[in-house]
Amino acid sequence: MASPLAFETDSTWYESRADRPPSGETLNREVETETCIVGAGLAGLYLARELAERKREAVVIEARRVGLGASGRHGGFCGPGWACEGEKIENRVGLEKAKTFFNLSLEGFQMVREVLESAKAPMTPGILHPSTYNNPHGLQKDLERMAQVYRYELDYMETDAVRNVLDTEKYYQALRDPRAFHFDALELCLILAEILKSAGVPVYENSSMTAFHKTGTDWVLKTGQGSVRCRNLVFCCGGYGGKEFRKLRRAFLPITTYIIVTPPMGEPLKQCIGTSDGVSDERRAGNYYRIVDGDRLLWGGDITAFGELHPQHIARKMSQDLAGVYPQLADHQGEIPVEYSWSGLMGYARHLMPEIGPLDEGLWACTSFGGHGANTAPIGGRLVAEAICSESERWNLFNAYGFPWNGGPLGPYAVESVYRKMQLGDQWRAFRSRF
């Protein structure tokens, strides 16, 4: 397992309010099962749930605790789509397959909704995508294309309507997705763990896979104190997988991203943000935010490819970014107070799509959901469960993407330069639209 990041903190805002049960059992003996799943994030937990629903035997091995990876610390935004833009998917696989991909992403979205609904956990509907430059025709074209090609309806908002709810001159028109929602990321992971417990599926925590090998037709996985022998071994390690994953580790890059949460801000915050919608600006290297706990702001964005910045450093920078959009909230030094700041890792393949499929006979990958895993990791889990149960081969849609090399030591340079280019492009478009 990759060593935990130095500053990666467990004290996220989510953890501060979670009702986390005491640590689960650590694997300290030999276990035999049909399927062993490595990683208790959304991909691994949903896969285990799908197998349990089909009455198939499985265990989950988690290096740390359920949801301590990206899945329990993400922004809480859930809507259809993939980390890769729709247009790029169309260019690569053609329109018909792109529609199938979109429908899969919708199915994953529905899987999240169903679990939250069944547990009566809160979901707040509505995600707003404001433009940071004047772009009425572009947005209307996107809206029509989504309705005509993908049969997915979005709402269009004029600049006045946007500024009526978001008190900033940074935004112009917006598209609003009334079906997308936001929710408590960690709560979903803990609900899934509870479902698995009731179904009798063991989830071993603090049990890191250190090595694996094949014996006959079975796989054997080793942890510090135990081992698992299984017919199917599935890697759901997200961005946290280390060298123990061998060739899979060479097919993705861990990308760090950041979130801050302010202290309660009372009336001034409500005057700036007069909506319960989540907001995700349309920039390619943009920010997303939402009101939580009534009057705190959760604000996310920024990425680094070479490792993690100290949360205090990034908190300062993000607070200044936030003050750039809502200067009314800032103190005289141009900053907004921050109570929680944390980072998390996303696994990204070069093609920006998930890596789902067999690595060898009985050895599967279900990973690399990038920054759009809230809906796509669940459907990834379902596709692998269907394959293991010989129900479908829907996973083979991902053959179009495969497991390309991550670029080795040059990979992070490429990511950083693409990201900076996207930021410059965003700034240029915003600048141009002022004239």
Among 369, 395, 398, 403, binds ligand FAD (CB under 6 A): 369
Task: By CB under 6 A, tell whether 36 contacts ligand FAD.
Answer: no
DSSP, collapsed to helix, strand or coil, labels residue 409 as: helix
Nearer to ligand FAD, 297 or 374 (CB): 374
How deeply is 408 buried, as exposed, middle or buried, from its count of CB atoms within 10 A (0-12, 13-18, 19+)? exposed
What is the rounded CA–CA span in Å between residue 270 and residue 48?
Answer: 41
Residue 160 C-beta: closest distance to ligand FAD, Å = 28
- Is the distance from CB of 421 to CB of 429 less than 8 angstroms? no
Mask 371-400, x = binds ligand FAD (CB under 6 A)?
xxxxx-x-----------------------
Subset of residues 324 to 343 that bind ligand FAD, contact rule: CB under 6 A: none
Task: By CB under 6 A, tell whether 257 contacts ligand FAD.
Answer: yes
- Is the distance from CB of 232 to CB of 364 less than 8 angstroms? yes
Nearer to ligand FAD, 253 or 374 (CB): 374
- Is the distance from CB of 126 to CB of 181 less than 8 angstroms? yes
Phi and psi based region of residue 41 (left: phi greater than 0; alpha: psi -120 to 50; beta: remaining) = beta
Task: By CB under 6 A, tell whether 300 contacts ligand FAD.
Answer: yes
- End-to-end Cα, the chain, rounded Å: 52
CA distances from 13 to 17, 18, 192 (A): 7, 9, 20
| Tally: H helices and E strands in the chain | 11, 17
CA distances from 273 to 155, 297, 324 (A): 19, 10, 14
Nearer to ligand FAD, 174 or 236 (CB): 236
Nearer to ligand FAD, 40 or 325 (CB): 40
> Measured on CA atoms in the order 192, 197, 200, 201, is the torsion positive or negative?
positive
Task: By CB under 6 A, tell whether 69 contacts ligand FAD.
Answer: yes
Residue 81 C-beta: closest distance to ligand FAD, Å = 9
Among 8, 14, 44, 251, binds ligand FAD (CB under 6 A): 44
Task: By CB under 6 A, tell whether 356 contacts ligand FAD.
Answer: no
Among 31, 48, 52, 68, binds ligand FAD (CB under 6 A): 68
Question: Using CB under 6 A, which of the segments 25-33, 72-80, 97-105, 119-127 binds ligand FAD?
Answer: 72-80
Among 75, 80, 130, 357, binds ligand FAD (CB under 6 A): 75
Q: What is the DSSP letter of 21?
A: P
Task: By CB under 6 A, tell whether 261 contacts ligand FAD.
Answer: no
Nearer to ligand FAD, 63 or 106 (CB): 63
Give contact residues for ligand FAD (rule: CB under 6 A): 1, 38-44, 61-64, 68-71, 73-77, 208-209, 236-241, 244, 257, 259, 300, 344-346, 367, 369-375, 377
